[in-house]
Amino acid sequence: MTSAASQDKLDNEFLVSRGIRVTEPQLMRSGFDAEQISKDISISFVLSDQLDFSVILQNNN
């Protein structure tokens, strides 16, 4: 998912073709409190002192 986000390819067709199960956004967020739904999701990786990567996923549904 992070790789897809880095390429700006979070559309359903791209994800499904790579084996990621896609469902309705409200079902994916159902485990979160109602006031938390609008918060961004941040994913970060630090691979070494010189290499890091981060993305922010925003709910714009």
Judged against a pLDDT cut of 60, whether residue 61 lies above it is answered with no
Range of the domain at 21: 2-57
Q: Any residues with CB less than 8 A from the CB of 12 and at least 6 apart, and which? A: 22
Question: Rounded to whole angstroms, how far apart are CA atoms 18 and 47?
Answer: 24
How confident is the model at residue 12, as a pLDDT? Answer: 82
pLDDT in tens, 17-54: 888 887 776 666 556 566 666 778 888 888 888 778 88
Domain count for the chain, please give it.
1
